[in-house]
Structure 1
């Protein structure tokens, strides 16, 4: 709201300055000895005629053009414009005849043409303003649309995340693992993060701690059954950057979902590094073709979600490459942090 008020104030100030220059132009370039003349036009008449032009300009810009120039009233607009210009000519001729009768013969040839020129300028001004407003409305509508899409994508995170975590806990419960209690406490922390941080940008440090907790939970679940390597290389300065919450976790979830169970000697390799605000994230896991893709109906939800969020939140600031081959699934994400 404050920005709109400042813009209107600035716009009003620009118009006021420009019209002040136009109104008092003769007094800047001419002298009293010459009656502040501009060509055959006395300074006084020039100023009064510019007031008439001011009425033409704003009368068309703020009243006639926006109200009448449409499919229903275009003919009425033409009539109104003709009347407006004719009235301006009549007023200027009246001013000449009453206050400047000695200059009327030379000045009357300059009565109609300036009114037409000012009207044309007013039309172009109105078209420009209308175009700017339309672009602004379009950007606002796009912003609202993107916000709604982002809210929908974020709302998909919670059930998808919870589904995968519960799968891990079920596995620990079946093994009667002594780590079940610790994993439940860890789950509590993860869900607290998910509930209270997922709707806003958070620090990179908080996101990394979340990833570490998730990987630790999976290590409790699989133990030595899966080789898990998680390397992090982030300087203290780079931890101050912000990132969209739960943006990286779908890739790790996908690795555990499809890189365990079926594959022989499964492993998951995760590398995360940040340098000068550029995040490089790499996840690689082993998988068996023909089995992982159809593991359950939720396959692909997380990756499609993160692709959409990257497009919405980091346009032209990310590169995502996913490669498969030789029973290896590779994710490489390069992201310019804010």
Structure 2
């Protein structure tokens, strides 16, 4: 059971003020009426109540309400009144309740100086509280901005993916292919995942892999025997349900391979590898690409998927991932290494 931070603060204050109020009773003897020097312990306790009032009135009312550029002068005036009232109360106590205390320079310093010390302490305490509140508010604002940006990035993925998938289904419909029905069933499974299973922050790795397999199967239905797709998912049996991953993080790399690795090639080939190595998820996607001499038409949205996933990786994983993109010898290769959590 977690203890609320407000209770921790309350107990901390109670302990500190308990030590201040009853300090003489901890260190002095009953024979001397718990006096410290010429000042009885009871005086220290009553003066401590005055200091307590001064501290909290300034820290929780005067400073927050009046310390600003517009009415700073009012805060100074009220502070003088507050400190002056504490000094006046101590004077009344000295003459009315403790006339035996000698009026000397040394006793006056012990009696009156703490009022100024507790006033300064209350200002320091208030400033520390303000800094803590400001940092907490900034942290909450950053978290809110992050959540908003992630929602936006996820919302970009869905229409981008659907546009490409529907284009694939149109191709099957034109051919009057019998594969259209199973393709639509697979698409419905993908839509279910996108709409219902990706609402949380992370999803089990097993769900992301199922989504990946469905997408690859949908693309194979479209291209039939016109493309060579090799898929190898090599994970220990307990890895998939054990680890969580940002939803729809892997699919843009495969989507990019199908989109740009199937044009102007006699023998398109795509290789997808997923494995776990020393606590890291290693995802590798390779696809053949057309020679530089072949002109390819690249639509203006072709970079949305990869640019999107790079932003999401930076936002969510920061130093916990490595993304390598290489293009050589007629192959385009992407390798993502991600620390599993």
TM beyond 0.5: yes
For residue 93 of structure 2, the aligned residue among 88, 92, 95 is: 95
**Are residues 1:193 and 2:196 paired?**
no
| Residue of structure 2 in register with 1:296 after alignment | 299
Corresponding residue for residue 320 of structure 1: 323
Residue 247 of structure 1: aligned partner? 249
What does residue 179 of structure 2 align with? 179
**Structure 2 unaligned blocks of 5 or more:** none
Following superposition of structure 1 onto structure 2, how do residues 14-163 of structure 1 map, counting pairs within 5 Å? 14-106=12-104, 107-163=107-163
Given the superposition, is the C-alpha separation of residues 193 and 109 from structure 1 closer, same or farther in structure 2, using an over 3 Å criterion?
closer
Shift of 1:36: 0.8
The number of equivalent residue pairs is 336
Distance of 1:211 and 1:290 partners within structure 2: 33
Alignment RMSD, CA only?
Answer: 2.0
Between stretches 212-221 and 45-54, larger displacement belongs to: 212-221
Q: Deviations over 1:220-252 (max 9, x none)?
A: 222332221111111122112111211110110
Other-structure match for 1:271: 273
Q: CA deviation at 1:170?
A: 2.2
Aligned equivalents of 2:288, 2:295: Cα separation in 1: 10
| Secondary structure, counterpart of 1:273 in structure 2 | strand
Instruction: Give me the whole-angstrom Cα distance separating, in 2, the residues matched to 1:163 and 1:228.
Output: 22
CA contact 2:38–2:102 (8 Å) conserved in 1: no
- Per mean C-alpha deviation after superposition, the further-off stretch among 313-322 and 283-292 is 283-292
How far apart in 1 are the matches of 2:37 and 2:288?
Answer: 87
Q: Distance in 1 between matches of 2:279 and 2:78?
A: 60
User: 281, 284, 294: which one pairs with 1:282?
Assistant: 284
Deviations 1:117-141 (A, max 9, x none): 1111111111110000001111111
Deviations 1:172-223 (A, max 9, x none): 2333333222212111211121111122222111111111111111122223
Q: 1:77 to 1:291 in 2, by over 3 A?
A: farther
CA contact (8 A) 2:90 2:112 kept: no
Structure 2 counterpart of 1:210:
211
Instruction: Determine the C-alpha separation between the residues in 1 that align with 2:262 and 2:321.
Output: 28
The offset of 1:316, in angstroms, is 2.4
5+ residue gaps, structure 1, are: none
Alpha-carbon separation, structure 1, partners of 2:194 and 2:164: 14
Q: TM-score, normalised by structure 2?
A: 0.92
Secondary structure of 2:100's partner?
A: helix
- 2:24, 2:35 within 8 Å by CA — same for their partners in 1? yes
SS at match of 1:261: coil
Greater displacement, 146-155 / 170-179: 170-179
